[in-house]
């Protein structure tokens, strides 16, 4: 079988190309995610047609140490393809129907580049239709679990290697249309009850198209299919964190030169990993600013300061601005108002302290890949704002700074892997996400220092319980919310009239959807007992069992 991708046929410029080779004007920003910076690796292009699960294709490929990018179909044209020079292409699923003349297509050039192409679901139908086959609309809906059976023999070293060992494969389907006639050169390799062309291929040209979604967990061997595809395309699995670290350090040096960089540290994993990486690259040209807004968890401020200043020796401005924040929040109970006050103040305070780092030209941010993927909206139009997120989005323009974003190409778990590679302590890397507005949004109603203190103690006990029971890593995020309500209780022989609190613990993949964590009754009972027993000011504990949606993870 012909394989693609020996070293000799690489057409992309290699990492280390000069600015001129990369088409950059002298002094132009060398951002992460530009064509030049990614050419250290062979690249797979995912053309997104708007499927809910396109990001999962990228996740699975990254797990295979294959570098890939997602680009919306309407941004991929012939010039883009020439410039990107993919080693292989995947066409994602999507909500449209190819039987609708207005539905999206791939540039025909995708099929003329001579690289392997895999079409998934809608991507299958696009490929088949564009190459001269036919797709029928409507009446053959198939959703959820299905079984695909092979319809013909395949070569030993093929995209099917390791599949069909038990005679059939469990897959996840979600389609209304189906392929009914094949383009020249294609054969059917697998069928399901609702999709007679569940797998079709033209192996000579390395065109493969599947009706099901190999990228989702519900297709247990989907990973095998994707691994076979990338192997045949010639990917060597060179996208590792060790390699990433070396390249990122070189890129930061090249971008920053001998300039100064400031980095807003939140104490979260992303900004911490970004800071350590940048420090490795440019040492004391980096200064971190950690703004303590008085809304942090127990010992959080000490932990962050100790790690950065003492353990890593990274220059750090520890700005204790709690008085200012808590003063501004006094009497405020509306959640959006709290968020806006905190966001606005953060920018002011950060700017004030950043000025101490005279002449900084660059601002470092822990932006991740999911933040920069342009999503294709099937319906069009902006989505509703549920919460105004606190971030430093307004800073670069306001301060005239250039951005350094060394994590722009990574998913959250890759950031954690990079953190491990950089030697950050395991307990720090594995920390649950913590929102910018901190405890302010876990203290519904008016915030007071007393309430924050009570909340900190209860939260610390809950997290301690979770750790003691070995559950921390199974949970996406866990915290206590202090409720703005006092309830009557009996303690010893006396009456109590104290606050109620709610425990919140969720499982999630990305924070977009979540489910409550199914603690045992014993765990909940023990935790409630400890909180009421050890925290003065709380006499009642509840467990929040709302999923997201309809709830959100935080209470405000
Ligand atoms: P929600 O409450 O919207 O939270 O379901 C989803 C995830 O986002 C975190 N979150 C924030 N993170 N700034 C942040 O940096 C914010 O303003 C903010 N609000 C919510 C939340 O903790 C959860 O992980």
Strand runs labelled E in 412-451: none
The average pLDDT across 333-349 equals 94
Query: Is 175 a residue of the active site?
Result: no
Residues in contact with ligand 1 by the CB-under-6-Å rule are 387, 389-390, 433, 435-437, 477, 511, 548, 552-554
Residue percentage of the chain with pLDDT more than 70: 88
Q: What is the pLDDT of residue 374?
A: 61
Task: Give the per-residue pLDDT at 36.
Answer: 36
The pLDDT of residue 33? 36
Query: pLDDT per residue over 53-103, tens digit each?
Result: 898 899 899 999 999 999 999 999 999 999 999 999 999 999 999 999 999
Q: Is 213 a catalytic residue?
A: yes
* 8-25 pLDDT per residue, tens: 222 222 222 222 333 333
Mean pLDDT for all residues in the chain: 88
Ligand 1 centroid to residue 435 C-alpha, Å: 5
Distance CA 485, CA 530 (A): 20
Lowest-pLDDT choice from 261-270, 364-373, 401-410: 364-373
Give the highest mean pLDDT range of 144-148, 177-181, 330-334: 330-334
pLDDT tens by residue, 362-371 = 999 998 887 7
Helix %, strand %, coil % of the chain (to 5): 35, 20, 45
pLDDT range class, residue 381, cuts 50, 70, 90: very low
Ligand 1 centroid distance, CA of 222 (Å):
31
Check whether 176 has a pLDDT greater than 90.
no
| 13: Cβ contacts below 8 Å, ≥ 6 apart | 21, 22, 36, 39
Tell me the mean pLDDT in the region 241-250: 92
Strands of 428-521, DSSP E:
477-491, 494-507, 515-516
Q: Give dist(CA 407, CA 277) in Å, integer.
A: 10
Joined tokens for residue 507: 């499982």
* Beta pairing partners, 402: 362
Mean pLDDT of 304-320: 91
| Residue ID of nearest Cα to ligand 1 atom 20 | 435
3-class DSSP assignment, residue 373 = coil
pLDDT of residue 83: 96
Q: Is the pLDDT of residue 511 over 90?
A: no
Global pTM? 0.76
Band the pLDDT of 400: cuts 50, 70, 90.
confident
Q: What is the DSSP letter of 310?
A: I
pLDDT recorded at residue 10: 26
pLDDT reported for residue 493: 87
Active-site position among 154, 206, 213, 293 = 213
Output the CA 47–ligand 1 centroid distance in Å: 29
Q: Residue 139's pLDDT is what? A: 66
Question: What's the confidence (pLDDT) of residue 24?
Answer: 30
Catalytic annotation present for 293? no
pLDDT in tens, 195-240: 899 999 999 999 999 999 999 988 999 999 999 999 999 999 988 8
What is the DSSP track for 119-130?
EETHHHHHHHHH
pLDDT at 427: 86
* Mean local confidence (pLDDT), 333-359: 92
CA distances 279 to 263, 287, 315, 354, Å, are 10, 9, 9, 17
If you measure from the C-alpha of residue 554 to the centroid of ligand 1, how many angstroms do you get, rounded to a whole number? 7
Each residue of 440-475: pLDDT tens digit? 999 999 999 999 999 999 999 999 999 999 999 999
């Amino acid at each position: 079988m012909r394989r693609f991708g020996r070293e000799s046929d690489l057409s992309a410029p290699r990492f280390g190309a000069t600015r001129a080779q990369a088409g950059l004007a002298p002094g132009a920003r060398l951002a992460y995610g530009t064509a030049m910076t990614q050419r250290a690796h062979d690249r797979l292009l995912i053309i997104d047609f708007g499927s809910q699960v396109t990001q999962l294709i990228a996740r699975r490929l990254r797990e295979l140490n294959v570098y890939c990018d997602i680009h919306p179909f309407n941004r991929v044209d012939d010039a883009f393809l020439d410039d990107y020079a993919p080693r292989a292409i995947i066409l994602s699923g999507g909500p449209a129907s190819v039987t609708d003349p207005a539905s999206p297509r791939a540039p025909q050039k995708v099929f003329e580049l001579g690289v392997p192409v895999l079409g998934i679901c809608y991507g299958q139908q696009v490929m088949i239709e564009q190459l001269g086959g036919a797709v029928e609309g409507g009446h053959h809906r198939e959703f959820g679990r299905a079984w695909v059976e092979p319809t013909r023999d395949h070569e030993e070293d093929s995209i099917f290697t390791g599949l069909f060992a038990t005679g059939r494969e469990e897959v996840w389907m979600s389609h209304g249309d189906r392929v009914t006639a094949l383009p020249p050169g294609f054969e059917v390799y697998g069928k399901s009850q609702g999709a007679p062309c569940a797998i079709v291929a033209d192996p000579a040209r390395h065109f493969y198209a599947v009706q099901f979604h190999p990228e989702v967990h519900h297709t247990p061997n989907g990973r095998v299919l994707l691994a076979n595809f990338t192997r045949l395309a010639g990917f060597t699995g060179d996208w590792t964190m060790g390699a990433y670290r070396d390249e990122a350090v070189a890129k930061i040096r090249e971008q920053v030169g001998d300039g100064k960089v400031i980095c807003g540290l939140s104490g979260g994993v992303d900004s911490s990993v970004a800071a350590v990486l940048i420090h490795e690259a440019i040492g004391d040209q980096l200064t971190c600013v950690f703004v303590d807004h008085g809304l942090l968890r127990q010992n959080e401020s000490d932990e962050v300061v100790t790690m950065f200043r003492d353990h890593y020796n990274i220059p750090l401005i520890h700005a204790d601005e709690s008085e200012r924040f808590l003063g501004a929040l006094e009497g405020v109970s509306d959640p959006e108002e709290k968020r806006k006050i905190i966001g606005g103040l953060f920018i002011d305070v950060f700017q004030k302290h950043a000025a101490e780092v005279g002449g900084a030209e660059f601002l470092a941010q822990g932006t991740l890949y999911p933040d920069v993927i342009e999503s294709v909206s099937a319906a069009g139009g902006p989505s509703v704002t549920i919460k105004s997120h606190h971030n430093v989005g307004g800073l670069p323009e306001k301060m005239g700074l250039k951005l350094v974003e060394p994590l722009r190409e990574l998913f959250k778990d890759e950031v954690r892997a990079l953190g491990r590679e950089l030697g950050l302590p395991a307990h720090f890397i594995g920390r649950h996400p913590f929102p910018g507005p901190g405890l302010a949004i876990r203290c519904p109603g008016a915030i007071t220092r007393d309430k924050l203190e009570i909340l900190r103690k209860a939260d610390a006990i809950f997290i301690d319980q979770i750790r003691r029971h070995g559950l921390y890593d199974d949970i996406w995020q866990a915290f206590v919310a202090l409720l703005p309500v006092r309830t009557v209780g009996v303690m010893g022989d006396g009456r109590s009239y104290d606050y109620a609190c709610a425990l919140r613990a969720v499982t999630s993949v990305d924070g977009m959807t979540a489910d409550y964590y199914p603690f045992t009754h014993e765990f909940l009972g023990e935790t409630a007992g400890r909180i009421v027993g050890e925290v003065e000011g709380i006499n009642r504990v509840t467990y929040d069992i709302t999923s997201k949606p309809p709830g959100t993870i935080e209470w405000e």
